[in-house]
Chains A and B, each alone.
Chain A
Amino acid sequence: GDSVTQTEGPVTLSEGTSLTVNCSYETKQYPTLFWYVQYPGEGPQLLFKVPKANEKGSSRGFEATYNKEATSFHLQKASVQESDSAVYYCALSDPGTGSNRLTFGKGTKFSLIP
C-alpha cells in the first residue's frame, strides 16, 4: 500500500534559521502531494498541494517541490518564526482510485528554542 515517511521530530530551531522537513513516499500511482499544518487545539489544515511532478507549491513562506524521480516532497522555510510552531504532515492522495482519501506521514513537530 501507499506510505509516507517524514522527518522524525521534534525539531527545535532558533528564530530566523532555516527549516527543512523531509518527506519521502511510496505509491504505485501518480499522486497529488500535500503538506498540512496543525496548530495546538485544532485539526490539520492545508498548507499547500502540488498535483504535478517538478512543480513547486508554496504558502506562508513555506515551499516544497514535487520530485517524482526521488519520490520526495521536502518542506522548507528560509527563516522560521514563533508562529510556525506546529505539527507538519506530509500526505499523498491516490487519484487512480477516484477517492479523496489521503495517506499521511506521522507528523513532525516543530518549535522554536525558548
Chain B
Amino acid sequence: DAGVTQTPRHEVAEKGQTIILKCEPVSGHNDLFWYRQTKIQGLELLSYFRSKSLMEDGGAFKDRFKAEMLNSSFSTLKIQPTEPKDSAVYLCASSLYSAETLYFGSGTRLTVL
C-alpha cells in the first residue's frame, strides 16, 4: 500500500510569493493533518480534516495559511504571502477514523529567502 505522498520535497520561494504544497493521504484514511516542524518548536498542528471537513485550523496560522481538501485523496496547503519565518518542514499525516496512529509523509522542506 502506498503511504502518504507529499510534493514537492523541496521548495524555495522569495518573500511575498504564494506557494502550494500537496499531499495524498493513505487510501481509505478519513483524517488528514498538516503539521509544521521546526527545531525550536517541534511539531505544530496547522490544520485537521475529518472526511474532508475542516475540524481544526491552528489559530496562530490562520492568517496566511490555508489548507483545503477538495477530495478524499488530495489536500493542499497554501501559504500566501510567504515570509522568511515560514522556512520549515511541512508534514502531512493521515489516519483511519477508528485508529489513533498517524502515518506521516516525508515532508516538504520550504526555504523562504
The chain A residues found within 8 Å of chain B, CB to CB, are 32, 34, 41-46, 49, 51, 89, 93, 95, 99-107
**B interface: dominant SS:** strand
Task: Report chain A residues within 8 Å CB of B106.
Answer: 41-43
Give the docked Cα–Cα distance between A99 and B97 (Å): 8
| CB closest chain-B residue, reference A104 | B43
| Tally of chain B residues near chain A (CB < 8 A) | 26
Residue among A46, A89, A100, A102 facing the most chain B CB atoms (10 A cut-off): A100
Assess whether A45 is in contact with B104, with CB atoms less than 8 Å apart.
Answer: yes
Assess whether A43 is in contact with B107, with CB atoms less than 8 Å apart.
Answer: yes
| Interface hits, B62-113 → A, CB 8 Å | 91, 93, 95, 97, 99-107
Known contacts A43-B4, A49-B101: does B42 contact A100 (CB below 8 Å)?
Answer: no
